[in-house]
């Protein structure tokens, strides 16, 4: 089996070189040890090269669905970026078989983050290790004007069980900054809100702030074991509440209670996520260089979320499922699905159950939450004073909330306040009932008193 010349690494990283691929019979050159992943995107094979006894991963992309220029691009970026210690090593081996374009990478025996993060996360220490290394890898790309565009748990490989070595992988979506790209099969929970506003097949410019958003989602899941929302859109109640909370910290207004999952985090960690998960792309950082300022701070320590409810299978977001099938006849169907934005990522069998647990803890409406609202307001006020933002202490009052885009989702923290007219009517009825009861009691202390409760309830 031939190898690609090191000359492929010469010149600018933005000049993608094309070369003639050697035709190889896979079974003649390799012993296939394990199918690591499989789907319409191709196959990930753990293999051993027979002549050198070298173990490696082969990424085989089907010619039917892969343009040759896309294969060259992914292989090119993998080679150029591999020098960084937190980016997966792509070997200078590329060839084609009868049905696939193939290149070789190092093997990560512990799998990806999806297979290693439990329903309660991986803890603060390990989360900080992942954050530091992932930020370093992304900054390495950003300084070279590259946007990864597909930062998610599946694309962060674990090489040591204590998370002291993780590596970013999969550069199939990587593009140069400001390149016009089409929205296709972004994974909804990781997609920035400005990209969600773009219709499928419409174009938008690749920007490093997209990686910053996705980075924050990955770290949030590592810390909490939960996705903060299903998607960053107006029809997701958890995201709507987050936006309201974010806005209340930017203007002088009545403080909004923190979203439930964010209450697990320290004030410094909340500040970190509000910074990186800024809904307005023009206000969101373009890079992660300032992460170091937060690494010495405590990230966990707020009130831990209460019991998490369960969800029926049909309540789960379908885009969160992985498809574990090796039937080639399904490839065409999966390819069509992904063009319409339906997730078809394939990985180890444990991932489906793990993802279901995350969704169960993320999409269920928060019920029965008995927390002191005054305490939340006081904490918000103290945080504002710490940040130098003045907010007058106002008495709590009912604030009508706009209904979500679905038209059926109530505020997860409780019932909506009554309209002003209805509230006035109830108050008037209660006052009249109280007056009637007092008059009756004064008229005769020996007769049974009249109760106002039945009248008030039936009014």
Q: Are strands 90-96 and 22-23 parallel, antiparallel or unpaired?
A: parallel
Burial readout 234-251 (b: 16 or more C-beta within 10 A, e: otherwise) = bebbbbbbbbbbbebbee
DSSP string, 259-292: PGGGGGB-HHHHHHHHHHT-SSTTTS-S--GGGH
- In angstroms, the Cα distances linking 265 to 61, 269, 307 are 41, 6, 17
Instruction: Output phi, psi for 365, to 5 deg.
Output: -60, 140
| 365 contact partners, CB below 8 Å, separation of at least 6 | 237, 409, 410, 412
Q: Output the six-digit token pair for 364.
A: 């269920």
Is 352 annotated to bind ligand?
A: no
Element housing 403 (H / E)? none
Burial readout 153-189 (b: 16 or more C-beta within 10 A, e: otherwise) = bbbbbbbeeebebbbbbbbbbbbeeebebebebbbbb
Report d(CA 90, CA 154) in Å as an integer. Answer: 17
Instruction: Output phi, psi for 431, to 5 deg.
Output: -65, -45
Q: Output the six-digit token pair for 41.
A: 């995107």
31 annotated active-site? no
Q: Output the six-digit token pair for 127.
A: 């989360």
Catalytic residue among 150, 154, 170, 411: 150
Residues serving a catalytic function are: 150
Which residues are annotated as part of the binding site? 59
Q: Which residues are annotated as a binding site for ATP?
A: 59
């Amino acid at each position: 089996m031939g190898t690609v010349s090191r000359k492929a690494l010469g010149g600018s990283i933005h000049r993608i070189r094309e070369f003639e691929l050697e035709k190889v019979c896979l079974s003649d050159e390799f012993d296939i040890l394990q199918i690591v992943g499989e789907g319409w995107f191709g196959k990930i094979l753990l293999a051993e090269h027979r002549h050198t006894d070298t173990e490696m991963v082969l990424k085989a992309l089907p010619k039917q669905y892969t343009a040759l220029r896309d294969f060259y691009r992914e292989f090119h970026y993998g080679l150029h970026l591999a020098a960084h210690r937190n980016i997966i090593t792509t070997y200078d081996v590329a060839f084609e078989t009868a049905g696939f374009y193939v290149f070789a990478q190092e093997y990560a025996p512990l799998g990806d983050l999806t297979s290693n993060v439990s329903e309660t996360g991986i803890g603060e220490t390990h989360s900080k290790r992942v954050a530091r290394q992932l930020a370093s890898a992304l900054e390495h790309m950003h300084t070279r004007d590259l946007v990864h565009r597909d930062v998610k748990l599946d694309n962060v490989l674990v090489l040591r069980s204590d998370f002291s070595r993780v590596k970013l992988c999969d550069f199939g979506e990587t593009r140069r900054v400001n390149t016009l790209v089409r929205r296709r099969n972004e994974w909804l929970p990781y997609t920035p809100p400005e990209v969600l506003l773009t219709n499928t097949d419409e174009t938008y410019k690749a920007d490093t702030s997209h990686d910053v958003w996705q980075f924050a989602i990955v770290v949030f899941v590592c810390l909490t074991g939960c996705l903060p929302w299903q998607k960053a859109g107006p029809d997701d109640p958890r995201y709507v509440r987050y936006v309201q909370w974010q806005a209340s910290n930017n203007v002088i207004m009545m403080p909004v209670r923190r979203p439930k999952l964010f209450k697990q985090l320290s004030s410094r960690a909340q500040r970190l996520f509000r910074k990186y998960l800024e809904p307005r792309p023009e206000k969101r950082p373009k890079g992660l260089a300032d992460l170091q300022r937060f690494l010495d701070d405590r990230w966990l320590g707020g009130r831990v979320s209460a019991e998490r409810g369960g969800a029926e299978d049909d309540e789960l977001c379908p885009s969160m499922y992985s498809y574990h099938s090796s039937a080639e006849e399904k490839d065409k169907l999966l390819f069509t699905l992904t063009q319409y934005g339906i997730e078809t990522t394939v990985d180890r069998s444990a991932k489906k159950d793990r993802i279901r647990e995350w969704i169960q803890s993320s999409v269920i409406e928060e019920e029965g939450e008995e927390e002191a609202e005054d305490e939340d307001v006081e904490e918000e006020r103290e945080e504002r004073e710490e940040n130098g933002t003045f907010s007058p202490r106002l008495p709590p009052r009912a604030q009508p909330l706009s209904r979500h885009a679905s038209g059926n989702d109530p505020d997860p923290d409780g019932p909506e306040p009554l309209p002003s007219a209805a509230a006035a009517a109830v108050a008037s009825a209660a006052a009249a009932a109280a007056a009637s009861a007092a008059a009756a009691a004064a008229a005769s202390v020996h007769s049974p008193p009249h109760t106002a409760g039945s009248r008030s309830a039936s009014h």
